[in-house]
Chains A and B, each alone.
Chain A
């Protein structure tokens, strides 16, 4: 491991104190003079034609300042896949047709929120209801209702991957099996509901503060959708209370806030309610996964054929990326010499699914990992051993994707097995107790430029001053994951400064350097981090030259920035304070400030990602066989995220991932009646609480990623994948119930227990035949 002064150290998050004190201002905390409050009218029907909208009563309600429908907009479609305009299928407000319950129909801005809410009830919309479709299998039939005229099949994206010869591979396999898995939709459930506040300048330009993961994408799409120029829009991202993929597109309220600010000349703010977020918000893609896999007797994988249908809901949103990625993830973790994938993204009359932490990986890897465990059992191989046998290693080439650079997967599996006491527990736990494993691999940012930006993927500007301080400017968006802290750490390390020496401006599209594609795909540490390193190196070159000249150093000396000084490495007394060195450079340049720009765009790294993270996780559970309730007792994680830049942030990502994985595996789901979400509140949407969290242990496997800043790569999203399969495998170990249909509900477990209780459990369950209920103690 390389030696660092700030990287890898226990550096407190720069936002920790203000957030703990409640002093951090989020978008909804902001108030501007004369500000109006906006509310959105949503469709009560899953599929209907809009015959007429009468807003006159709403507009005449005292206090209402503006009412808009699609007729008041330029009617320009938007969507993140700018490179392929045919995938852009959404308007800010519905034109002629609504496609899900919650689809945005009109917006009101009034002097307070309550009046705006009341005005919504006064808007008369005449609908003609159409037949609706809620199931992907039905949606793909020829007689199914069509959601979008441009797409008569309802299949909006087809993605195929193929290498090797899958049929030949199966023919050469000793063991082939096919399984179908279904996985469900869940909510991002970020603590901060979406909020946007727009203000129009005297010259007609727009400034918008918005809770977003992607300031640059919002800037560009807001401009095109309003028919304005990009530079006329300034997007500022205040503190954001989480995104998890749910805030990575231009959204209706951002558009309406800007449009209505223009029309009224007053600032307009929209903040969604939690009910709106649950009823109409984006969600994780429900998928149907059909996987066929072939092995040799010894457990070596020969071929895999994966077909996935994504239930996209009413619009594409980030569905095309999810469709691409779940195919790529299907070929990760293990070596598949022959691989075939067909993914289909299908429209249904439900709220659109979109990006969500893991971006296709949790679904795809659930199928991979459960099937791996089934195969291991059938082949008589321990789940750990079958993984070790097939695990991807550094240097493995995935056709058309990448050559894997750093890879700590094998070590992760070995370490997690040791930490958890796998071998012993797998053989000795009693019925009702179980231990299971799940693994993951994830990308460190995407390469494929679907947004079609002409800018670098990430950029940074560094300004240094003669008082020994620096100012870091970057468009990278800290949405709570801690990128501001990490990027400061990287700059402090490079320049030999302290965290306190660095001022930071981030995520303001008018002030920070173009561009940055946003916080998604676990891209920020690697990409924005590299941009910071790049800028810092340019600054250092200038400083090194000045110090060298000042001390008349022999050219063989290597110079470093360390402890607030710029000095010769082997003769630290030959040096200057950082500020003195900056002043010298300025003097040599007629007083010009010392500023450098850096950037990063992946090159020569294939079309998917510059680097992969890996890891393995073991869960231990206890199942109450009378109620079917699962308690996750303890979890062990060993993972490879390259250099750990901020250990507590990494552990925070792990804790958050386990919490999300717990909900995904066991308790969270949208209860739907057709297109209507029935559990639109936290009482009935069962997100685990702090009290549900298991004990957790972690080991960071030591690797160094050459493409990452200081050797770092992703750690934010990959960890969202292994928890559900690990728990699922543990539940199988405890009860014999193999879940191929998430979530693992008590009802499903009980149904299985009852079925097998009569006949006695097969396989390993007979080892501990303690199926009789605990005798009730008498007397």
Chain B
């Protein structure tokens, strides 16, 4: 299908991009890797008035990490670069787990983590691990910068807390706490190229055999990547036992709100939430022993 007519801009600086975004107003879209927006345009699901590409802006494609401050992923940092980043593998293995299974090689080569978040699909693979890690997104506009917990960013399928005129310039991921462990797992009916019908991300902190803190986020089973608060409450402060993990699985399944669609039935998705919750908890515990 013919791409609908639109203006295409390639600003060289962030300020230029922000000015363009304001000037173009409603109907202007930001493009990072283009792996979502171009596909939507080709299928006629999105008809932007203008597209502002960020790829030529210096400095926002960086991935920076220090063991003192944590991790910052710039707006145009590609998924493939996350995948091959040794510090991310060491300190944030759940994020590596997520980008490893995302889409396919071609999409990983072009796509960005920030774009994956801004696209706000309930099944976005990077959202659950990043939320559990306590990530904060940096939203920049001509008025300045504001920081928002990623937890509060998603409002519905394709809907976010971002205002008109804002660009997500980076996502900041704090350092993992001592004796914490993270995990991300998803279900796939097919190796490699798939959109998961259910996924789960966990980050848990342990004191001896007590789970002192935990975050659990479920993907593709609600309109947004879903924080499973009830399950977290069930786990927090408890002695780590087989029964506890079993119960957490049931609770998470209860808490999820999946729909039936061509990928899976709601009923099966709930069962998978239980399985994934348990498996990520087990892996998070194992990994916590290394921190």
List A residues at the B interface (Cβ < 8 Å): 113-115, 117-118, 626-629, 666-667, 671, 678-679, 682-684, 686-689, 691-692, 746-747, 750, 775-779
In the complex, are the beta carbons of A689 and B192 less than 8 A apart?
A: yes
A-B contact pairs, 15 of them (CB 8 A): A113-B2, A117-B2, A626-B275, A678-B261, A684-B263, A687-B190, A688-B191, A689-B190, A689-B191, A689-B193, A691-B191, A747-B267, A775-B242, A776-B282, A778-B241
B286 interface residue (CB < 8 Å to A): yes
Q: Note all chain A residues with C-beta closer than 8 A to B264.
A: 747
B8 interface residue (CB < 8 Å to A): no
In the complex, are the beta carbons of B278 and A627 less than 8 A apart?
A: no
Which residue of A is nearest B103, CB measured? A683
Total A-B residue contacts, Cβ distance less than 8 Å: 64
In the complex, are the beta carbons of B240 and A778 less than 8 A apart?
A: yes
B177 interface residue (CB < 8 Å to A): no
Most buried by A among B1, B190, B268: B190
In the complex, are the beta carbons of B190 and A667 less than 8 A apart?
A: yes
Which residue of B is nearest A626, CB measured? B275
In the complex, are the beta carbons of A667 and B189 less than 8 A apart?
A: yes
Q: Note all chain B residues with C-beta closer than 8 A to A682.
A: 193
Q: Note all chain B residues with C-beta closer than 8 A to A686.
A: 189-190, 194
In the complex, are the beta carbons of B262 and A679 less than 8 A apart?
A: yes
In the complex, are the beta carbons of B193 and A779 less than 8 A apart?
A: no
B245 interface residue (CB < 8 Å to A): yes
Query: Bound state CA distance, A627 and B271, in angstroms?
Result: 8
Query: Bound state CA distance, A118 and B3, in angstroms?
Result: 11
Which residue of B is nearest A628, CB measured? B268
Which residue of A is nearest B278, CB measured? A776
B138 interface residue (CB < 8 Å to A): no
Query: Bound state CA distance, A688 and B188, in angstroms?
Result: 11
Query: Bound state CA distance, A279 and B195, in angstroms?
Result: 20
In the complex, are the beta carbons of B282 and A118 less than 8 A apart?
A: no
Which residue of A is nearest B289, CB measured? A779
B152 interface residue (CB < 8 Å to A): no
Query: Bound state CA distance, A750 and B271, in angstroms?
Result: 9
CB distance from B197 to the nearest CB of A (A): 10
In the complex, are the beta carbons of B278 and A629 less than 8 A apart?
A: no
With A689-B193, A691-B192, A775-B242 as given contacts, are A117 and B1 in contact (CB-CB < 8 Å)?
yes
B16 interface residue (CB < 8 Å to A): no
Q: Note all chain A residues with C-beta closer than 8 A to B2.
A: 113-115, 117-118
Q: Identify A629's interface contact among B1, B189, B193, B263, CB under 8 A.
A: B189
Which residue of A is nearest B265, CB measured? A747
* B:259-291 near A, CB below 8 Å: 261-265, 267-268, 271-272, 275, 278, 282, 286
Q: Note all chain B residues with C-beta closer than 8 A to A684.
A: 195, 262-263
CB distance from B268 to the nearest CB of A (A): 5
Q: Note all chain B residues with C-beta closer than 8 A to A683.
A: 193-195
Q: Note all chain B residues with C-beta closer than 8 A to A777.
A: 282, 286
* B:181-240 near A, CB below 8 Å: 187, 189-195, 209, 240
Q: Note all chain B residues with C-beta closer than 8 A to A775.
A: 242
With A118-B2, A683-B195, A684-B262 as given contacts, are A776 and B242 in contact (CB-CB < 8 Å)?
yes
Most buried by A among B191, B262, B268: B262
In the complex, are the beta carbons of B187 and A629 less than 8 A apart?
A: yes
With A684-B195, A778-B241 as given contacts, are A671 and B262 in contact (CB-CB < 8 Å)?
yes
In the complex, are the beta carbons of B282 and A692 less than 8 A apart?
A: no
Query: Bound state CA distance, A23 and B268, in angstroms?
Result: 46
In the complex, are the beta carbons of A114 and B272 less than 8 A apart?
A: no
Query: Bound state CA distance, A113 and B245, in angstroms?
Result: 56
Q: Note all chain A residues with C-beta closer than 8 A to B241.
A: 778
CB distance from B291 to the nearest CB of A (A): 16
Most buried by A among B194, B242, B267, B271: B271
Query: Bound state CA distance, A108 and B244, in angstroms?
Result: 64
Query: Bound state CA distance, A778 and B264, in angstroms?
Result: 32
Which residue of A is nearest B104, CB measured? A689
What are the 3 closest A-B residue pairs judged by CB atoms, nearest first? A114-B2, A691-B191, A671-B262
Q: Identify B1's interface contact among A114, A671, A689, A692, CB under 8 A.
A: A114
CB distance from B122 to the nearest CB of A (A): 15
CB distance from A625 to the nearest CB of B (A): 10
Query: Bound state CA distance, A684 and B194, in angstroms?
Result: 8
Which residue of A is nearest B243, CB measured? A776
In the complex, are the beta carbons of B193 and A627 less than 8 A apart?
A: no
Q: A747-B267, A750-B268, A777-B282 are in contact. List 14 more A-B contacts (CB 8 A).
A: A113-B2, A117-B1, A627-B275, A629-B189, A678-B262, A684-B263, A687-B190, A689-B193, A692-B190, A692-B191, A746-B189, A746-B268, A776-B242, A778-B209
Q: Note all chain A residues with C-beta closer than 8 A to B240.
A: 778-779
CB distance from B259 to the nearest CB of A (A): 13
- Using an 8 Å CB-CB cutoff, how does the interface string of B30-68 with A read, 1 for contact, 0 for none? 000000000000000000000000000000000000000
Query: Bound state CA distance, A692 and B209, in angstroms?
Result: 39
Query: Bound state CA distance, A468 and B2, in angstroms?
Result: 53
Query: Bound state CA distance, A114 and B5, in angstroms?
Result: 12
